[in-house]
Amino acid sequence: MKSGFVGIVGRPNVGKSTLLNAILGEKIAIVSDKPQTTRNTIRGIFTDQDHQMIFIDTPGIHKPKNRLGSYMTEIAANTLKEVEVVVFIVDGLMSAGPGDKYILDMLTSIDTPKLLVINKIDKMPPDDFRQAYEEYEATGAFQEIFGISALTGKNVDLLLEKIKGMMPEGPMYFPADMITDHPERFIITEIIREKMLHYLEDEVPHGVAVEIESYTEGEKLTKIGAVIHCEKKSHKGIIIGKEGKKLKGIGKSARLEIEALLGTKVFLEIWVKVKENWRDSDHALSSFGYRK
């Protein structure tokens, strides 16, 4: 058995969670077209006859604007020290902005083997891909460079085979049928948050946290009570929407996905509460699961 840990790092919104879901063949990490969707490290477990690889999807590394942002960047950086392989995902030219160069400088300070993934090649002109490839190849920082589309699955199998070949001999850390070590409650809060990312204006979803207040499992029905915490009274009105339509849409969409996850009917109640400036409160960050 070969086994080990793989860190997936990159700027916000380059496709880290989409790649993790593509590798596992199941959705365990939420995705949206808004940056900073992932806040915690999401661990996905890939197991076949000879390998077990634990992929760690990290929050996008960015210049933080609040304590939540600092926490997200800190855990992403710490991941680099704990893995056998680092997969650095980009979706354009290194020369296009400082974000990728900042992460590259961070990576060159560690000895961990590194692979570069140029994602979204289904939307990238061939000349841009060639230039990006040459820019990163010139750094000499990577064992290999892959062009992929995490969304369509193009070349994901080639990347996976390369990572398998880089794994050392090791134990089986998790049961073969386990695809994530996160409890169901965590995944449910992430599903609800994902639906808000799809339904709401750009800024509001980053100012919300979801908390499960009650969870009762029955043989045929699971009852879940969840609270959406937002930072402003005006945000509460936006989340609820006119005649409660926004919140009903979020709830219905989340419930259908939660039912598929749990394999039972679900009764989901969601309340919205205001908790001002929670993203800069150590106590709030801890209570919402963003601190150990």
Residue with more model confidence, 207 or 135: 135
8 Å CB contact between 272 and 244: no
Classify residue 253 by burial, with Cβ atoms within 10 Å: 0-12, 13-18, 19+. Answer: middle
pTM for this predicted structure: 0.63
Per-residue confidence at 27, pLDDT binned at 50, 70, 90? Answer: low
The predicted pLDDT at position 40 comes to 47
Longest dimension (CA), the chain: 58
33 Cβ contact partners less than 8 Å away, ≥ 6 residues apart: 13
Task: Supply the mean pLDDT for the chain.
Answer: 82
8 Å CB contact between 159 and 55: no
Q: How far is the CA of 226 from the CAs of 81, 138, 157, 205, 264, in angstroms?
A: 35, 50, 38, 16, 18
Classify residue 186 by burial, with Cβ atoms within 10 Å: 0-12, 13-18, 19+. Answer: middle
20 has a pLDDT exceeding 80: yes
- Identify how many contiguous H helices and E strands the chain contains and give both numbers: 9, 9
Residue with more model confidence, 134 or 282: 134
| Per-residue model confidence as pLDDT tens digits over 231-277 | 888 888 888 988 999 899 999 999 988 887 777 899 999 999 988 77
Per-residue confidence at 217, pLDDT binned at 50, 70, 90? Answer: confident
Tell me 59's DSSP state: P
Q: Percent of the chain scored above 70 by pLDDT?
A: 80
The predicted pLDDT at position 43 comes to 75
The predicted pLDDT at position 36 comes to 44
Mean pLDDT of 119-139: 94
First to last CA, the chain: 32
The predicted pLDDT at position 82 comes to 77
- Which of 131-135, 190-194, 210-214 has the highest mean predicted lDDT (pLDDT)? 131-135
| Per-residue model confidence as pLDDT tens digits over 65-93 | 666 666 666 666 666 777 899 999 999 88
Tokens standing for 137?
């190849």
Distance CA 149, CA 156 (A): 7
**CA dihedral angle for residue 253, residue 255, residue 257, residue 259, rounded to 10 degrees:** -150
Distance CA 213, CA 285 (A): 16
Distance CA 150, CA 173 (A): 26
Lowest-confidence range among 47-56, 72-81, 172-181? 72-81
CB atoms within 10 A of CB 215: 13
Question: For the chain, what are the domain ranges?
Answer: 2-165, 184-287
41 has a pLDDT exceeding 60: no
Of the candidate CATH numbers 3.30.300.20, 1.25.40.10, 3.40.50.720, 1.20.1250.20, the domain formed by 184-287 belongs to: 3.30.300.20
The class level of CATH for 2-165 reads alpha beta
Backbone φ and ψ of 171, nearest 5°: -80, 170
50 has a pLDDT exceeding 90: yes
Distance CA 157, CA 136 (A): 22
Per-residue confidence at 109, pLDDT binned at 50, 70, 90? Answer: confident
Q: How far is the CA of 205 from the CAs of 196, 215, 284, in angstroms?
A: 6, 23, 16
Place of tokens 């409160």: 281
